[in-house]
Structure 1
């Protein structure tokens, strides 16, 4: 039986289960929610996803390059917008020169009219009719020239305004095109960055899947459920008061007839308030210590207890456990899960078929619950009927100790799968169960 694959499926199911279970109201609590599963992608599917991510990345890079080239092209003198802007600017300059010349002609015409008017005004009374007629004719001629010059100046001014407008529009069109391309490059760079991240993620997922496939290619068939590997909690009260520390014991027993070269104990605690909707994870801490050490280590989704190496047939090992609940924690419900997995030097492996859950109540700080019994397993009782007695004892202590160097990568993967499945779905499961029996706890 492929233990890793089974536990991975359990994790996938647990990911979707809490949201479904926690949404069950008391009115519908008697209806059993259907489990949702989520298949793990195959290597072929991941290869297809990686190829698609590579294509998307290549297209994004090409789009960025095209935008950069388009921006660079706007600096070329042959670019249509550059050509148009240049022609409009030259036309505006020509119109400006014509306007200046027209304005100067008006100035000169006005001066000529003034001079002609001065001649007329200066004629003496003794001037002949011919002299007066000639002077007035000159004034009329210069006045006509002034009118024509002023009309030309007006036309030149209008032409200059139109040319300036076109030049401004052509320049603006070129600038807008460049700004748009800069923005397009910026957007393309963001797309490239995201596409690269997606590509790297897809490549990493594919590489990991191939690595797991290679690692698990021959080993998984040897991994089997082992009912005679048991984990039992003793000394954990059925009610724990917030603001206190509670010491208890986890016993891992090899009830089989074969030595287990390396056994990895697993433990996890999950707690909520009475409603079951508020996770108290930050207020509840589970720690462990080997029998020969006074150092307490935290266990959670990332830190597992060190391996027992070895655990001989019929032997057991005891691990000191400590549960700490912050004084600010409200009254609620808690559950501690335990399990064990083993790995042998010959490649065989396995683990406890189920995860034992020990439920307890959380009483508010300062409460005096009185005498309470020990928390009881909510699953099944461990199978210890075949323990091999030695020297009058029901099970002899393991000759091995908790390994100081920590667990192997292989054991961590197996424990991580089982632990994640429990940690994610545990709270929702016992909340719904308590609602079903009408408990207010």
Structure 2
């Protein structure tokens, strides 16, 4: 619930950036990641503004796509100025080639005539034939130079026309991708608004943000084609036993440009002694469900991140959080999304010594390293916390659409912001 609202706000930030199709990087130069700016749930009024902004961004993307389609038609038309210019240059080159061939033939004819002079030819006749050959060679040399210039001009004109076509198609591809991502962002913003209105009419609970989630052991550098294990500690500081807790981990990465999203090349799994082996996080990025987590107790989940060998080098972020819901209808979760930056290295790279990834900001309620309760390495009893493989809750975030759309529409804004901070 809370996490869904946080990511819905990220959608709004992404789609309201100026010139979302072509200048996402600069548009997000001063943006802040959701967990650093979002201190409370967005109001219905704020979500209405976000939905309106998302709608406008989608409409602008459609208009840009239409303009790009017209530009492609113009660039590929035989009557376009560049194509007309290329045809004229090609015709000129053809004429120059024909002229050079005729000049070469004149040289051959003159040489033949000189060679066929009889032995008793007069000095005047021989001198005339030699002059004819010399003149023919000079003309042939000139024709060859004209041909070279015309051919180069023709090639340049053809390249100019082809480059214009390629640029037009690239712009259309960018515009079409923007339509897709802004449509997804619009749908996510509309859904968040609808759910907020529904909650406003029928409030389900007073969200209590006293759940602590901390990742440990995630390396700051990970080589593509490898897997790394780390853990997520979920600690209950609410003052009561929680009936169901949903741990959440969302991974996002791009290439070094910050524009190519590579989330699909990252695979996250979780495991406990009771889970029966490694399992993929579900479509909502949840690592199972913890049943009956006692007050003052915690659970440590094992997580495994596998990065495909095809993943390009670039920055990544792991977001961790949690939500809970009790049988009596009360609910809550983490006060913010905790962020952990890491770097993906190209396959085959030797990373050397890599420090653990650091959280984006410290929290006063972060649990210390001293064990406070049972961990997921042994079966948990019902009074302290039981980790199950399934579960559902209306409080669980819908990130498959909202989070993904926000990140993609922002062209890797979160990672771009971090890279600019590091480079600056």
TM-score, structure 1 length as denominator?
0.51
Task: Give 1:10 shift.
Answer: 2.2
Distance 1:5 1:244 in 2: 31
CA distance, structure 1, for counterparts of residue 282 and residue 19 of structure 2:
24
**1:418–1:315: structure 2 CA closer, same or farther, 3 Å change rule?**
farther
> Which residue is equivalent to 1:403?
388
In the alignment, structure 1 residue 277 sits paired with structure 2 residue 259: yes
Report the alpha carbon displacement of residue 424 of structure 1 after superposing the two structures with TM: 2.9
**Alpha-carbon shift at residue 278 of structure 1 (Å):** 0.8
Query: How far apart are 1:364 and its partner, in Å?
Result: 0.8
- Greater C-alpha radius of gyration: 1
| Partner secondary structure for residue 13 of structure 1 | helix
Would the alpha carbon gap of residues 416 and 5 (structure 1) be closer, same or farther in structure 2, given more than 3 Å must change? closer
Deviation string for 1:289-318 (max 9, x for gaps)? 233234322226445222111111011111
User: Could you tell me which residue of structure 2 aligns to residue 265 of structure 1?
Assistant: 247
Q: 1:300-338 CA deviation, whole Å, 9 max, x = no partner? A: 644522211111101111111111111121111111111
| Alignment partner of 1:433 is 2:415 | no
In the alignment, is residue 348 of structure 1 matched against residue 325 of structure 2? Answer: no
Q: Is the 8 A contact 2:262 2:311 kept in 1?
A: yes
Q: Residue in 1 aligned with 2:286?
A: 304
Matching residue of 1:10:
9
Instruction: Supply the distance in 2 between the matched residues of 1:329 and 1:275 (Cα, whole angstroms).
Output: 13
RMSD: 4.1
Distance 1:267 1:26, change over 3 A: closer
**Residue 223 in structure 1 maps to residue 206 in structure 2:** yes
Q: Cα–Cα, structure 1 residues 366 and 8, in superposed 2: closer, same or farther, change >3 Å?
A: closer
> 2 CA distance for matches of 1:277 and 1:253?
36
Equivalent residues of 1:18, 1:424 under 8 A apart? no
Task: Verify: 1:318 aligned to 2:317, yes or no.
Answer: no
Output the TM-score relative to the length of structure 2: 0.53
> Relative to 1, partners in 2 of residues 1:292 and 1:27: Cα closer, same or farther, differing over 3 Å?
closer
Aligned partners of 1:408 and 1:312: how far apart in 2? 19
Distance of 1:33 and 1:231 partners within structure 2: 21
2:175 is matched with none
Q: Which residue of 2 aligns with 1:378?
A: 360
| In structure 2, distance between residues paired with 1:26 and 1:289 | 37
Relative to structure 1, the CA distance from residue 367 to residue 208 in structure 2 (aligned partners, 3 Å threshold; closer, same or farther) is closer
Instruction: Decide whether aligned partners of structure 1 residues 436 and 215 sit closer, same or farther in structure 2, where only a CA change above 3 A counts.
Output: closer
**Which deviates more, 302-311 or 272-281?**
302-311
Asked if residue 235 in structure 1 is aligned to residue 226 in structure 2, the reply is no
Aligned residues between the structures: 267
Determine if contact 2:325/2:393 at 8 Å carries over to the other structure: no
Aligned partner of 1:85 in structure 2 is none
Q: CA deviation at 1:341?
A: 0.5
Cα distance in structure 2, aligned partners of 1:32 and 1:279: 18
Greater fraction helix: 1
Label 1:40 to 1:14 Cα distance change in 2 as closer, same or farther (>3 A).
closer
The whole-number CA distance in structure 2 between the counterparts of 1:207 and 1:420 is 9
- Separation in 2, partners of 1:208, 1:9: 6
Task: Please report how far the alpha carbon of residue 420 of structure 1 lies from its aligned counterpart in structure 2 after TM superposition.
Answer: 3.5
Asked if structure 2 preserves the Cα contact closer than 8 Å seen for 1:288 and 1:296, the reply is yes
- What secondary structure sits across from 1:230 in the alignment? strand
Gaps of 5+ in 1: 43-205
Q: RCO greater where, 1 or 2, for CA within 8 Å and sep 6 or more?
A: 2
Q: Indicate if the aligned counterparts of 1:7 and 1:418 stay in contact, CA closer than 8 A.
A: no
Determine the C-alpha separation between the residues in 1 that align with 2:32 and 2:338: 22
Match for residue 348 of structure 2 among 366, 370, 373: 366
What is the SS of the residue equivalent to 1:337? strand
Q: Secondary structure at the match of 2:229?
A: strand
CA contact (8 A) 2:5 2:192 kept: no
Cα shift readout 1:246-296 (whole Å, capped 9, x = no counterpart) = 111111111221111111111111111111111112211111123323432
Paired with 2:245 and 2:401, the residues of 1 have a C-alpha distance of 15
Asked whether the 8 Å contact 2:242–2:325 carries over to 1, the reply is: yes
Do 2:285 and 2:399's aligned partners in 1 also have CA atoms closer than 8 Å?
no
